[in-house]
Structure 1
Amino acid sequence: MTPPVVVTIAGTDSGGAAGIAADLTTFAALGVHGACVVTAVTAQDTTGVRAIHPVPLDVVAAQLDAVLEDLDPVAVKTGMLGTAEVVRLVAERCAGRILVVDPVLVATSGAVLADAAVVQAYRDHLLPVATVSTPNEEEFIALGRPDRHGVIVTRGGDIPTTNDHGTGCTHSSALAAHLALGADLATAAERAAAYVSQQLNLGKDWKLGRGRGPVAHIQGEHR
């Protein structure tokens, strides 16, 4: 059977732990076809973010149009969007689809990835059209504690490990994948949380990098 398409709109992670790398491996593990729109290129490893190069708005728009017009994704998942203009673009082009918004404002390492204008654009434009948003506690507060149906505040995994870089991206990608496969929101949320816990457990003893290592994405039984 032809798999459903899910597109991630996010930044890269040169260390392979978070961002588009986490999204695409999670999509593949869960049986959906992953497309991608790159919003920024980061120089990043397990110890932190070294540099961020935003992709120009017209190039982000061209990528998004290419995916929407040709592959017609069932679901859209957002990660680091970078600028208020990109946030508004996504809200305009993706409203009406299954839309999972992971409002990436601060990296695991503490690097700030969004300014006040981006936060306001989330509040005014993207969150109102989202199917579900998955802020962590810090992001939830920064966004003004949005009180609406479809907000899942993530609190990390329940597995004791330092290999948790990319946990938020993995969770929101798994949520988008299960929604695309036809699960209702409650079921998709439960399955996404279970997937994250399973993958944290699988990779808990990995020795990758000098900092917070990546979540395991592709080992074990996922479905």
Structure 2
Amino acid sequence: MKKTKILVATMIVAIIGLITVAADHIDAPAVTGGSADITDFYAFQAENSNSIAFVANVQGLLSPTATASASFDENVLIEFNIDTDADAVEDLIIQAIPRNGKMYFIGPYAPSSTGVNSTISTTATRNEVTISSYGSTPIVSNAGNMKFFAGPRDDPFFMDFARYGEIIGGNAASFNDPGADTFAGTNVLSIVVEVPKSMIGTSGNVNTWVEAKMKQ
């Protein structure tokens, strides 16, 4: 896979140690194309307590009909950034890019440069998984103690926008419990990678964020 220069479309930050969520659902001002829009990023301890799961969701608010025809953009790279020394600079990255019905995962590895521009390494460990189709049994790939998935999933983000509007308008003081899920019935395209903690550092002071980068 040749090196490709790509630019940041959007960035969302989370800190490992908490189940941390950030979401925009097509309202991030830096996003110019829906195929690069990150709706959510999750980082949490996996079912295997020795591993961390990273989840990036893109292309939110997909109806069931739209989900059936939705696909990952082959010009968009999703990059999981991992900072192991608390300086807010990525020390390791995991890259995910789709090609011909498969999602390819590169890393984790130390990038040759940091910041908004990235290249895809030709020497780092590469794994792949067939992209699952809507309504089918999810396909999960296992390799090198890592797990990989890519495909449509139900949107996990919960937000009661009607109640939010009432609060902002001064007509309510708090959210209902649990309230109405505005995103019920909509889907996202998910990219999931599960990584042994030993591969990303075990200091306990690990920061992580995700970027969507478009080929230029």
**TM-score between the two structures when normalised by the length of structure 2:** 0.27
Which protein has the bigger strand share?
Answer: 2
Q: Which has the higher contact order (CA 8 A, sep 6+)?
A: 2
| Greater Rg over alpha carbons, structure | 2
